[in-house]
Amino acid sequence: MAVGVDKRKYLRPETVALLNSMSLRARLVVEGYIIGNHRSPYHGFSVEFAEHRSYGPGDEIKHIDWKLFGKTDRLYVKRYEEETNLRAHIILDTSKSMLYSSAEVSKLSYANSLAASLSYLMINQQDAVGIAKFSEKIDTFIPPKARPSHLNLILSQLDDKDSGNDTQIGMVLHELADRIKKRGMVILISDLLDKPENIMKGLKHFRHQNQEVIVFHIQDRKESEFDFDTRTKFFDMETGEEIVTEPWHIRSNYNELISKLESNYKSNCRENLIDYVPLFTDQSLDIGITEYLIKRSKLF
């Protein structure tokens, strides 16, 4: 990569989506975020001093306690106990509706870039992260780990063209809530195109188990605002149903429905202490990263 490239451009979803490598995508987004904020988000490592023991063959010199050597004239090494700060599960919606795009970036591509970046960030903070991909069922479940090698396993599961079928968000959330036993953070990345009452019941299931929850509601701006001017054929990507109509016939009712839907999610999430973050696919990825870091900072 050329020297002097401003990596902040990789916070733009249309730029980072051009990268086929999820590993490169994740790294450049996070590096762009750090440059844009003039500080590193890598803080809060929980590596606590445990005890001393005598220096022996094979021990690394960098772990010798030289101050203690000066007092005792004997070599001791410090032993540390590394503790994971956070256990996080990223729950990623890969149903067919996530493939929709009115411009360069599909909802799924945006969601993948966000999931990859958050995973990269967490593991570099020594947090444990896992991922669950779902459509009408759980297709992939990788438990959280904090090892650097674990990142490659997560990133290998992210594909901008790999989608499932229908959406069954509520049912999947209940199943995952029963499976995830240890307390931590649950991050749902989805377009939330399912019955809102079922989704909220699933999210409240996590809250009843004292999980911290953040919801990233991924939307395409044209889909959300119904910005269509001419007679258009609308195709349901999950059911296959088609309708041809003049957009102005239904725009008012559609916009009212979308507004009520978003207000419903926002108010219900607030009541249940769930962070609700609406994101459009043309918005900078640093918005999602910042919201995650704000959430994390409140926990430690």
φ/ψ of 178, rounded to 5, equals -70, -30
pLDDT score recorded for residue 167: 84
Who wins on pLDDT, 256 or 53? 256
**Centroid of chain to Cα 191:** 13
Nearest Cα neighbor of 21 from 119, 152, 124 is 152
Who wins on pLDDT, 220 or 298? 220
pLDDT score recorded for residue 240: 60
Who wins on pLDDT, 101 or 80? 101
Who wins on pLDDT, 121 or 40? 121
Q: Could you give the CA distance from residue 110 to residue 31 in angstroms, rounded to a whole number?
A: 17
Is residue 34 packed enough to be buried (19+ CB in 10 Å), middle (13-18) or exposed (0-12)?
middle
Nearest Cα neighbor of 258 from 197, 193, 166, 165 is 193
pLDDT score recorded for residue 56: 75
For residue 232 the two structure tokens come to 């258009």
Examine the pLDDT at 47 and tell me if it is beyond 80: no
pLDDT score recorded for residue 162: 87
pLDDT score recorded for residue 1: 47
Of the listed ranges 160-164, 179-183, 185-189, 245-249, the one predicted with least confidence: 245-249
pLDDT score recorded for residue 81: 46
- Confidence band for 248, pLDDT divided at 50, 70 and 90: low
Q: Could you give the CA distance from residue 176 to residue 139 in angstroms, rounded to a whole number?
A: 12
Examine the pLDDT at 289 and tell me if it is beyond 90: yes
The number of beta carbons lying within 10 Å of the beta carbon of residue 254 is 15
For residue 235 the two structure tokens come to 């195709």
Domains and CATH numbers, the chain: 47-82 (no CATH), 87-297 (3.40.50.410)
Of the listed ranges 79-88, 104-113, 201-210, 232-241, the one predicted with least confidence: 232-241
Place of tokens 């609700």: 276
pLDDT score recorded for residue 88: 97
Q: Could you give the CA distance from residue 20 to residue 45 in angstroms, rounded to a whole number?
A: 31
- What is the overall mean pLDDT for the chain? 85
Is residue 83 packed enough to be buried (19+ CB in 10 Å), middle (13-18) or exposed (0-12)?
exposed
Who wins on pLDDT, 71 or 225? 71
For residue 100 the two structure tokens come to 């929709």
256-272 as b/e: b if 16+ CB within 10 A: eeeeeebeebbebbeee
pLDDT score recorded for residue 131: 98
Strand, coil or helix: 269: helix
Binning the chain into helix, strand and coil, the percentages to the nearest 5 are 45, 20, 35
Of the listed ranges 97-101, 240-244, 262-266, 294-298, the one predicted with least confidence: 240-244
Q: Could you give the CA distance from residue 240 to residue 46 in angstroms, rounded to a whole number?
A: 50
